[in-house]
Amino acid sequence: MKTITLSEEPAEISSVFEQANDEDVIIQLADGRQFMLSAIDDFDIEIAQTRRNQKLMAFLEQRSRQTQTIPLDEVKRQLGLS
């Protein structure tokens, strides 16, 4: 993900930014290419960064394939919570 900082907000696009505060906006160029503009918050950025963490994603993928479970009673017994 790349961040571009604008020193000034071009007047032509100001209203587009305002609309993107309320909902995602698709911008279509004359040649047909489309781009999505979406307001984000810190949590959105954290999610995007987490998804790029290949080690974490591989670990989660591996864990999702595990079928063996430990019954709750056994966990409580091992932790001395019975």
What are 18-66's pLDDT values in tens digits?
A: 899 889 999 999 999 999 998 888 788 888 889 999 999 999 999 999 9
Which pTM value belongs to this model? 0.47
Residue 9 has pLDDT above 80, yes or no: no
Reduced 3-state DSSP string for 23-71: CCEEEECCCCCEEEECCCCHHHHHHHHHHCCHHHHHHHHHHHHCCCCCC
**Residue 46 confidence (pLDDT):** 85
User: Which has the closest alpha carbon to 37: 64, 55, 16?
Assistant: 16
**Residue 38 confidence (pLDDT):** 86
